[in-house]
Structure 1
Amino acid sequence: MNVSVVDLSNTQKQVHVEIPAAKVQKELDTRYRDLAKQARIKGFRPGKVPRNILKSYYGKNVEHEVSSQFIQETFNDALREADLHPLVEADVNETRFEDNGTFVYTAVVDVAPPFEVEGYKGLEITKSPVSVSDDQIQTELERIREQNAQLRTVDTDRPIQEGDAVLTDFVPTVDGSVFEKGKTSDFMVEVGKKALHPEFDGHLIGHRVGETLSFDLDYPEDATMPEIKGKRVHFEVQIRELKEKELPELNDELAQTVKFDTLEALKENIRERLVKQQEERVSMAARQQIIDQLVGKVQLDLSDKVIDREVDRLIDLLLNQFESQGLKIDGSKFSTPEIRGEYRPQAIKNISQRLILVQIARQEGIELTEEEVDEIYRQIALYARMDVEKVKAEFADSPLVEQSKESKVQDKVLKLLEESAVSKEVSPTGSDPTTDQE
Structure 2
Amino acid sequence: MNVSVVDLSANQKKLHVEIPADKVRKELEAKYRDLSKQVRIKGFRPGKVPRSILKSYYGKTVEHEVSSQFIQDTFSEALREADLHPLVQADVSETRFDDNGAFVYVAVVDVSPPFEVEGYKGLEVQKSPVKIDEDQVQAELERIREQNAQLLLVEEDRAIQEGDVVLTDFVPSLDGKVFEKGKTEDFMVEVGKHAIHPEFDGHLIGHHAGESVSFELDYPEDTPTPEIRGKRVHFDVQIKEIKKKELPELNDELARTVKFDTLDALKESIRERLRKREEERISVEVRQQITDQLLSKVQLDLSSKVIEREVDRLIDLLKNQFESQGLKIDTSRFNTPEIRGEYRPQAVRNLSQRLIFQQIAKQENIELTDEDLEEIYRGIALYARMDVEKVKAEYADSSLVEQAKEGKIQEKVLKLLEETAVYKELPDEGVNTNTD
TM category (shorter chain) comes to over 0.9
State the shift of 1:256 in Å. Answer: 2.5
Q: Relative to structure 2, which stretch is displaced further, 380-389 or 357-366?
A: 380-389
Task: Give the SS at the match of 1:8.
Answer: strand
Residue 395 of structure 2 is matched in structure 1 by: 395
**1:78-130 deviation line (CA, Å, top 9, x unaligned):** 11111111111111111112222221111111111111111111111111111
Q: 1:255 to 1:24 in 2, by over 3 A?
A: farther
Letter in 1 for 2:100: N
Whether the 8 Å CA contact 1:36–1:49 is kept in 2: the answer is: yes
Measure the CA separation in 2 of the matches of 1:382 and 1:230: 40
**Cα–Cα, structure 1 residues 60 and 235, in superposed 2: closer, same or farther, change >3 Å?**
same
Distance 1:37 1:148 in 2: 76
Structure 2 residue 13 is the aligned partner of structure 1 residue 13: yes
Q: Helix, strand or coil for the counterpart of 1:429? A: helix
Structure-2 residue corresponding to 1:108: 108
SS of residue paired to 2:10: coil
In the alignment, the residues of structure 2 paired with residue 219 and residue 387 of structure 1 have an alpha-carbon distance, to the nearest angstrom, of: 46
Tell me by how many angstroms 1:321 deviates: 1.5
Tell me: CA distance 1:89–1:220, structure 2 relative to 1, closer, same or farther (3 Å).
Answer: same
Three-state SS of the structure 2 residue aligned to 1:411 is: helix
Post-superposition CA distance 1:378-414 (Å, at most 9, x none): 2222223333333223222222222111111111111
**Equivalent position of 1:49 in the other structure:** 49
Give the gaps of 5 or more residues in structure 2: none
Residues 1:313 and 2:313 are matched in the alignment: yes
Whole-angstrom distance in 2 between the partners of 1:167 and 1:338? 51
Identity value in percent? 76
Report the alpha carbon displacement of residue 376 of structure 1 after superposing the two structures with TM: 1.3
Q: Indicate yes or no: 2:292 matched with 1:292.
A: yes
Secondary structure at 2:429's aligned position in 1? coil
TM-score by length of structure 1 reads 0.95
Q: Which amino acid aligns with 2:93?
A: N
Distance 1:403 1:266, change over 3 A: same
Of the structure 1 ranges 29-38 and 306-315, higher mean CA displacement relative to structure 2 is found in 29-38
Q: How many residues align?
A: 436
Q: What is the aligned partner in structure 1 of residue 262 from structure 2? A: 262
1:213-232 paired onto structure 2 within 5 Å: 213-232=213-232
Partners of 1:297 and 1:112 lie apart in 2 by 16
Once residues 255 and 40 of structure 2 are traced to their aligned partners in structure 1, the CA distance between those partners, rounded to angstroms, is 78
Q: Which amino acid aligns with 1:365?
A: N
> 1:401 is aligned with what amino acid?
V
Counterpart of 2:187 in 1: which secondary structure? Answer: strand
Checking the alignment, whether the CA contact within 8 Å between 1:128 and 1:428 is kept in structure 2 is no
- 1:304 counterpart letter in structure 2: S
1:154 matched residue in structure 2: 154
Worse-matched range after superposition: 417-426 or 26-35: 26-35
Judge conservation of contact 2:226–2:326 (CA < 8 Å) in 1: no
Q: Which residue does the alignment assign to 1:133?
A: 133
Whether 2:344 is the aligned partner of 1:357: answer no
Q: CA deviation at 1:9?
A: 0.5
Please report how far the alpha carbon of residue 437 of structure 1 lies from its aligned counterpart in structure 2 after TM superposition: 5.0
Structure-1 separation of matches of 2:150 and 2:425 = 45
When residues 384 and 20 of structure 1 are mapped into structure 2, their CA distance, relative to the original with a 3 A threshold, is farther
Query: Does the 8 Å contact 1:67/1:103 carry over to 2?
Result: yes
Aligned residue in 2 for 1:377: 377
Amino acid paired to 1:286: V
Residue of structure 2 in register with 1:31 after alignment: 31
* Offset from partner CA, 1:152-207 (integer Å, 9 cap, x none): 22222121122222121222222233222222222221222212111111111121
> After superposition, what is the alpha-carbon deviation per residue over 1:264-284, rounded to whole angstroms, capped at 9, x for unaligned?
222222111111111111001
Once the two structures are overlaid, the 10-residue window that deviates more, 207-216 or 152-161, is 152-161
CA distance in 1 between partners of 2:24 and 2:262 (Å): 74
Do the aligned residues in 2 keep the contact of 1:420 with 1:437 (CA within 8 Å)? no
Runs of 4+ in 1 over 6 A off after TM superposition: none
Paired with 1:66 and 1:153, the residues of 2 have a C-alpha distance of 78
Matched to 2:275, the amino acid is V
Q: In 2, are the aligned partners of 1:209 and 1:241 still within 8 Å (CA)?
A: yes
Q: Distance in 1 between matches of 2:51 and 2:392?
A: 42
Tell me the amino acid that sits aligned with residue 406 of structure 1: E
Match for 1:210: what amino acid?
G
Answer whether contact 2:125 2:424 (CA < 8 A) is retained: yes
**Which stretch shifts more, 344-353 or 30-39?**
30-39
